[in-house]
Chains A and B, each alone.
Chain A
Amino acid sequence: MQTLYVSQQNCYVCLQKETLLIKQGENIYGEVQLPLLEQILIFGSSQVTTQVIRACLLRDIPIGYLSRMGYCYGRILPISRGYRQLSRYQQQLSPIEKLITARAIVRGKLKNSRVLLRRQRQKRESEVLEKVLLSLDYLADQAAQAETCERLMGFEGAGAAQYFNAFSECLTNADFVFSGRSRRPPGNPVNAMLSFGYQVLWNHLLALIELQGLDPYCACLHQAHDGHAALASDLIEEFRAPLVDSLVMWLINRKMVHAESDFEFNNGGCYLNDSGRKKFLKAFLQRMTEEIKIDNGEKQPKWDILNQQVRAFKQFVYNPSHSYQPYRID
């Protein structure tokens, strides 16, 4: 997945033949070949010319507009995407088929969170860690049998609270203090990075969901409300720990980010600033292009597992008796 991330502020993106130029005044920050591009994400207040928008619409390249911290305002998509054949099948999924999938998703999330913590246990001893590992196991089993979506959300919430408790034990850099998840706004640098990472990932998933022709507003675990693309929120669950949390942990423990110079405080929250955002995206990209072995022995960049899961969900929609299997690490 080749993406152009414009995280620098007050740039403008213009078209020159087959190339996009990212400029600020007469300064050219970069050139990108349009035909090889799959997605453009604009963070903050950079401009995109109408010529670029038109060229992207013609080529099925979505443009996402996000806040500087990664909250997605919306996207520009070609009109032909409006016709949704698959969505009819999605809407015909029965409540029990949805519940089974929602259970699998929550269980997958809890299991992946647990694996991340288990790997940390080899590096340090901690009573909290031991306790949380046990209770995540218990909650994952409970989730697999939950009778309703409300109960399922309960187990998920309990799991997340436990998990973040143990997550803070695993941060070894004293500059970063983390005593639990806070969002809207994120209260400290750790939360700022988590929120930013989830938003970037969420947005990618949304783009992939659109590319596969699925209806992003029709989901199993999350309720679609106020135009919330619930399917992206469903599919992100299994990836939070392996793709974002582990990266945040690595950036902090290896002292790749600095609590002072990579963050800014405004409107009562803490956010990554220009340098922090760039560092984060760079590390994120590097991880996502790392190759891993997939089931058939072939090597694929990590990007591909996102696509695989979206495709797996599509298969499930076409054929609900084959249940959806979330991505698992071990």
Chain B
Amino acid sequence: MFLYVIAYDIPCDKRRKKVADLLEGYGQRVQYSVFECQLTTEKYQDLRRRLRKKLNLTEDSLRFYPLSRHTLSQVESWGVGPSVIEPPSSVII
């Protein structure tokens, strides 16, 4: 399980919305165009595959930064915004 920081620049409103909606399912939004996702390799591949279908690579830019557990503990967050994402866990309603 890695923490992935995913940042994008997408000029088209429609595509940007679709990408953001998809990423909402996999992680949490930490800034306007930056998401944090804690994913297994399998889920990460899954996300990449689904993202790829929504992009136009001649106009859009996406960056994926994997963070290992070692560097994760050194992540700092300043100012407003949510804290660093926790690994997904079960939910009881």
Query: Is this pair of chains taken from one and the same complex?
Result: yes
Task: Mark A residues whose CB is within 8 Å of B.
Answer: 1-8, 11, 17-19, 22, 29-30, 32-36, 278, 281-282, 285, 289
Q: Identify which of A3, A8, A17, A22 gathers the most chain B CB atoms within 10 Å of its CB.
A: A17
Is the C-beta of B57 less than 8 angstroms from some C-beta in chain A?
no
In the complex, the answer to whether B88 meets A19 with C-beta atoms within 8 Å is no
Are B90 and A33 in contact, with the CB atoms below 8 A? no
A4 adjacent to B25 (CB under 8 Å)? no
| Cβ-defined contact, A8 with B22, below 8 A | no
Chain B interface size band reads: 10 to 19
Q: Is the CB of B93 within 8 A of A35?
A: no
A5/B92 in contact, CB under 8 A: yes
Whether A8 pairs with B93 at a CB distance below 8 angstroms is yes
Residues of A within 8 A of B47 (CB): 35
In angstroms, Cα B93 to Cα A3, docked, is 11
Query: Whose C-beta in chain A lies nearest to the C-beta of B50?
Result: A35
Pair count A-B, CB < 8 A: 58
The reply to whether A36 and B92 form a contact with Cβ atoms under 8 Å apart is no
| Contact status B25-A35, CB under 8 Å | yes
B46 within 8 A of A: yes
Q: Given contacts A18-B21, A19-B25, are A36 and B91 in contact (CB under 8 A)?
A: no
Residues of A within 8 A of B25 (CB): 17-19, 33-36
B residues near A (Cβ < 8 Å) are: 21-22, 24-27, 39, 43, 46-47, 88-93
Question: How long is the Cα–Cα vector from A34 to B26 in the complex, in angstroms?
Answer: 8
Measured CA separation A249–B43 after assembly (Å):
37
Q: Identify the closest chain A residue to B17 (Cβ).
A: A17
Evaluate contact between A282 and B24: CB separation under 8 angstroms.
no
Does the CB pair A4–B91 fall under 8 Å?
yes
List, in ascending order, chain B residues with CB within 8 A of A1's CB.
90
User: Nearest A residue to B90 by beta-carbon distance?
Assistant: A3
